[in-house]
Amino acid sequence: MDDFSNNLPPRAGENHRGNPDRYFHVMTEGWFVYTREGVRGPFVDRNLACSFLQSHITDVSPDDDPSSSWRL
């Protein structure tokens, strides 16, 4: 049996937390961000949405909920 795991790209992990696809703008509403818990927003500008996401990521810890370790 062939081992195809060597052909897989490396996992990105933290590198995708700043993924620009997580942010989107709705006209006359504001900026929103996708999190694992759902869509958050609206924010006045994209910088505020980015700041929220960074603080959200650092505030979530595995100790909050034993089943949430997969979210980090």
pLDDT the model gives residue 72: 47
Residue 53 burial by Cβ neighbours in a 10 Å radius (0-12, 13-18, 19+): buried
- Whole-structure pTM value: 0.59
pLDDT truncated to tens, each residue of the chain (72 aa)?
A: 455 656 666 666 655 556 778 999 999 999 999 988 899 999 999 999 999 999 988 886 656 555 555 544
H helices within the chain, ranges in order? 46-59
Q: Looking at residue 30, what is its pLDDT?
A: 96
Rounded CA-CA distance 50/47 in Å is 5
Residue 15 pLDDT? 59
